[in-house]
Amino acid sequence: MIDSTLNYLGGSSAISIGVLVLLSLYFILVFWIFIYKYFKLSSDVATEINNLNSLLARESTINPLSRLGQCLSRTTVSKEYLNVCETTLIRDASSGISWLSIISSTAPFIGLFGTVVGILESFARFSTASKVSFATIAPAISEALVATAAGIFVAIFAYTFHQILTRKVYELNTYLKSQIDIILSRN
């Protein structure tokens, strides 16, 4: 496995290697964003569920650990202020998630670019040969297709993680709205 990888990289051009390096960085970024945001959003959702449950139990205080509670501790309660607070909290919770969408849409094109360059380089190498068979062309084209496969591979994870995190943000927004409705009904 390591030998074939080293042979592949040794026979690749700088552009093909650059494409694979960029896709590798994308892959690392996708997982870093997902892990960080998933655990942060899960923690926020759990806190807001607990806060909502305490509000439903007719407790008058809002948990100071709640993101909404932190927002409310600064001023008096009004519908407008709560709406601004909710918007700010959702904007903060969803920051960074758009990168997953960007990566999921650009990674296949970056991989395709690497494949096209690889195929062009293969044809340039074959142009000097008088007779080229399918057995000669097939390995070169299959090596070039690695970049497309890598781009699609990265895009699958980026898109999936984007959907999971978008759902978590929606869940957080639902609990925030419910809490705001309860707070406003008490005033």
Residues 29-42 have pLDDT tens digits of: 999 999 999 999 99
Contact 161, 26 (CB under 8 A): no
DSSP state of 164: H
Q: How confident is the model at residue 4 (pLDDT cuts 50, 70, 90)?
A: low
Q: How confident is the model at residue 137 (pLDDT cuts 50, 70, 90)?
A: confident
Mean pLDDT (the chain, rounded): 86
Residue 95 inside a domain? The answer is yes
Query: In this model, does residue 151 exceed pLDDT 80?
Result: yes
Q: Encode 69-128 in three state secondary structure.
A: HHHHCCCCCCHHHHHHHHHHHHHHHHCCHHHHHHHHHHHHHHHHHHHHHHHHHHHHHHCC
pLDDT at 38: 97
| Distance from C-alpha of 58 to C-alpha of 65, rounded to nearest angstrom | 18
Residue 2 inside a domain? The answer is no
Residue 11 inside a domain? The answer is no
Higher-confidence residue of 80 and 8: namely 80
Number of alpha carbons in the 13 Å side-chain half-sphere of residue 12:
26
Residue 12 inside a domain? The answer is no
Domain that holds residue 126: 20-186
The mean pLDDT of 142-168, rounded to a whole number, is 93
Q: Encode 41-58 in three state secondary structure.
A: HHHHHHHHHHHHHHHHCC
Number of independent structural domains in the chain: 1
Query: In this model, does residue 150 exceed pLDDT 80?
Result: yes
> What single-letter amino acid sits at 4?
S
* pTM (2 d.p.): 0.84
Query: In this model, does residue 1 exceed pLDDT 80?
Result: no
Higher-confidence residue of 40 and 180: namely 40
Residue 173 inside a domain? The answer is yes
Residue 15 inside a domain? The answer is no
The mean pLDDT of 176-187, rounded to a whole number, is 85
Residue 76 inside a domain? The answer is yes
Number of alpha carbons in the 13 Å side-chain half-sphere of residue 87:
6
Higher-confidence residue of 71 and 117: namely 117
Query: In this model, does residue 79 exceed pLDDT 80?
Result: yes
Residue 3 inside a domain? The answer is no
Query: In this model, does residue 8 exceed pLDDT 70?
Result: no
Query: In this model, does residue 167 exceed pLDDT 80?
Result: yes
